[in-house]
Structure 1
Amino acid sequence: MASHLSGDLSPTLPSAEDDVLPLPSRFALVFLGHWSRKREKDDAKILTTPNKENTYGTMNKSEADEEKCIGDPWSSMDDDTSPLITKDANLNFRRDHNSIRKRLTGCCFLDVLGIIYLFLSCGMMIFDLEAYLRSYWGVKEYALHFVTYTTFIVQLMVVPFWCLYTRMKNIMTCSRSQRRVSTMSRAFIACRINIIRRGRSEAKILSWFPFLCILAWPTMTGCFRILYDYFLRVCKSESIHGEVGHWNSLLGSIIYGCFCYIIYLERRSFEIEAHQIFRYAMEQAPYPNVDAVLSRIRHFSIQYKILRQQIGAWMAFTIVVSTWGLTSHITWNYLVFSQKDLSPDVLRTIYFLNALVTTQKITFIAVPYFALGGLNMDHIWRYLKEDITHCREHKYKKYWKAVIIYVKDINKMFSGNMTSSLISTGLGIYLGLNLTKSQDIGFWIGPAAVGCNLTNPTGL
């Protein structure tokens, strides 16, 4: 039985007309290396609408009425005119085929550019991390500094590497249905945005305001890094790594913010779809149409589980690394400010450096938390289950019982990732607090010779 709610359609991939992403999401996908050619209207019609010569389903009302009066135009042709029609159809087919081939060529070119861009981004971050490994690995006096920066750069590296993996996977995957399960694919994102457009908060969610709010904090940390390196660093570096390091920090921060924005859109779309399913279940209760409701819930849970699983692993990693990095930074503050004979110039540099590192550590906690609406996405399914439980009526007892049982059975809430994260977080706090022994803090509080003569004096 069809839904009785206007505009409350089942979640499907968008059509060509709907497959137009809003500007903020397209801007975010550019930095994530997942850009694609803008689909023109004529090209979209060719890809989605069958030719008029091959079907009568695309004829308008006047054409259908005319056909009723004069008969089938193909059947009225004699043997002399049929070759002309066949030739005209072949020309149309070639024109459509050439248009599709041009579009595929453009997409392949953009795929290559996207992969090159992501390879360069990943290469810059590997170069940055390798320089720190070469300079500080095994040096006990600089373990605190090494941990503080490594926990920063590793979290930046995760996003471009994940984008590179998903981009190459989408290219090598021939099945379109398998591309849909990738949370970074254009088809998946367009599907989620299409669901947002059916909700009541479309203008607010898809506007520039959420995008700028999410991107502002990571971009600010990248700008702070450049400002510190050029104007406030005591031990300046003119090496290649010194130049690559701060620009890599800015680019990585922007990529991280764009990734969190895409996650924000997908999370909001699942919240909207969960509310639509709840309304759909209420509408179908009088009939009762249990199979249609269960089918709707099943389609929703497929994409929801994919995103929840990937985000759960990412957040588990984020919590562990962020806690270790934040604890190391607190330890750094304790060591530095325990020094009593600090000059005003050194204090000014330390205050700015402290603000820089603090904003970096807070970014990896606050921005994902805002994008997800919490530490994970389990609240979406929990709210759906609570809404269905609270609205059930006694006269439809069997209907609601079947729906509630299905909702509980189809989605098992696993807490393994979060439990391991809490255990690892405690270990990170312990390790961070035990880095206070034998640490040389002259690298931060003044132009110490050991700091300025390091193999790779990067600072932060």
Structure 2
Amino acid sequence: MGMITIFLSASFYDNILNMKKMWGHSEEIINLINKLCLLTLLASYFLVALLSKLRSHMKGDVPCLAWATTWNVRYLIKRAQLLDLPSKGMPGKYFLFLCMLWPFLNSCYRAIIYFYLSECDFDSHVVTTALFGIIMMETWGLFVYLIYFIRVSFQRQFSLILVYLRDFEGHIDRCRGAILCAFADYNLFKTFCNGYFLLTFPVVVIGVTSHITWQYLLYQVCATDSPIMKTQNFLRWLGLSEISMALFLYIFASGGMSVNYLGLQLHSNVLKLKSAAHALFWDEIVQVVDTTNRGSQLLYLSVFFSTVGIFMSLQFNNQDVTYMNARYNTTNMTIC
């Protein structure tokens, strides 16, 4: 709990410093929102972990935080037991390596831009920001891998349920209990993933839109051989890499835009197992699967970020980037 609070506080502190530098400057609004989107994405794990701790302490007093149980240690241990780790090892070892390597490279690239392509002084804030950036990037990569880890465990569990249903065909109470137990955990995970995607996808869309528009505006007013354009080439590749990382790693981890397909696949496979000899049993099983495979109601997050996206679109034409051209005729690039 202590470490989570420290990292959340550091993220909040960095946000405040950035807002103080950019707040009230119309030409900085896109840059400000981009930074806030990136920090929101990176700090998401620490917020989820904090909510999971609160859920554990409060037990059933906060029903709306039931999804946070997904990141409880007991929940993760239960998921790991289904994967037979001693004999098969960690699933997706190459994906785990990618989840660690890609964020680390982005962090190092950003630090190089800070320290060697700008006039930032090596003060405590710049150094702390770089160090926390690396830690938060790596933590986010591990967080995404855990999503993959949990998803694979449910794929394994649903496969075992199909075998269980075939072996105990006709024992409705026993089979119903197995399905309800599996879906109790699965629905928590699905609610979390749907909500997290509604956070991630709009952030990525905002990042792509503002990144392309900002580059387009810069090319309109700045000479291609100016210092700002040379530095912007590095920043452009960094932005594209971070956007691609956020989108690709999460989509691969969850197996698509959402994990709902796991429940749909189980429903489809149950239908394939139906037999005329136990028609009533299979009809009951299909009904149990349909009833327990409920949806998620977190659309308000999408509405909020869509509103931010619309606001940014309205602000694009108001971005005053001509000040950069005059500024960089006499000075070097400053990004701190």
TM range (shorter): 0.7 to 0.9
Q: Cα distance, 1:298 vs. partner?
A: 0.5
Q: Does 1:130 align with 2:1?
A: no
Q: Cα distance, 1:324 vs. partner?
A: 1.6
Q: Cα distance, 1:157 vs. partner?
A: 1.6
Q: State the number of aligned residues.
A: 333
Amino acid across the alignment from 2:72: S
SS at match of 2:71: coil
Mapping for residues 171-186 of structure 1, pairs under 5 Å? 182-186=69-73
Q: Distance in 2 between matches of 1:128 and 1:458?
A: 15
Q: Hey, what does 1:410 align to over in structure 2? A: 292
Moved more, 236-245 or 301-310: 236-245
Distance 1:162 1:141, change over 3 A: same
Mark the structure with the bigger radius of gyration.
Answer: 1
Residue 267 of structure 2 contacts residue 286 of structure 2 at CA under 8 Å; is this kept in 1?
yes
Q: Does 1:246 align with 2:142?
A: no
Residue 327 of structure 1 contacts residue 428 of structure 1 at CA under 8 Å; is this kept in 2?
no
Q: Cα distance, 1:354 vs. partner?
A: 0.5
Q: Hey, what does 1:91 align to over in structure 2? A: none
Residue 128 of structure 1 contacts residue 244 of structure 1 at CA under 8 Å; is this kept in 2?
no
Match of 2:145 among 261, 283, 291: 261
CA RMSD of aligned residues (A): 3.2
- Kindly indicate which of the two structures has a greater share of residues assigned to helix: 2
SS at match of 2:316: coil
Q: Cα distance, 1:266 vs. partner?
A: 0.8
Match of 1:441 among 302, 314, 321: 321
Residue 170 of structure 1 contacts residue 185 of structure 1 at CA under 8 Å; is this kept in 2?
yes
Identity %: 16
- 1:342-398 CA-to-partner distances (Å, cap 9, x unmatched) read 316544322111011112222222221111111221111010001111221222211
Q: Does 1:431 align with 2:311?
A: yes
Q: Distance in 1 between matches of 2:326 and 2:82?
A: 55
Distance 1:445 1:374, change over 3 A: farther
Q: Hey, what does 2:97 align to over in structure 1? A: 212
**Structure 1, unaligned stretches of length 5 or more?**
1-114
Q: Hey, what does 1:271 align to over in structure 2? A: 155
Q: Distance in 1 between matches of 2:41 and 2:266?
A: 32
Residue 52 of structure 2 contacts residue 68 of structure 2 at CA under 8 Å; is this kept in 1?
no
Return the TM-score normalized by structure 2. Answer: 0.87
Mapping for residues 299-378 of structure 1, pairs under 5 Å? 299-339=181-221, 341-343=223-225, 346-378=228-260
Amino acid across the alignment from 2:146: I
**Structure 2, unaligned stretches of length 5 or more?**
none
Mapping for residues 165-204 of structure 1, pairs under 5 Å? 165-167=51-53, 169-170=55-56, 182-197=69-84, 202-203=88-89
Q: Distance in 1 between matches of 2:303 and 2:59?
A: 37
Q: Distance in 2 between matches of 1:181 and 1:245?
A: 28
- 1:298-345 CA-to-partner distances (Å, cap 9, x unmatched) read 000111111211222222111222222221111111112224523165
Q: Distance in 2 between matches of 1:203 and 1:445?
A: 56
Q: Distance in 1 between matches of 2:51 and 2:269?
A: 38
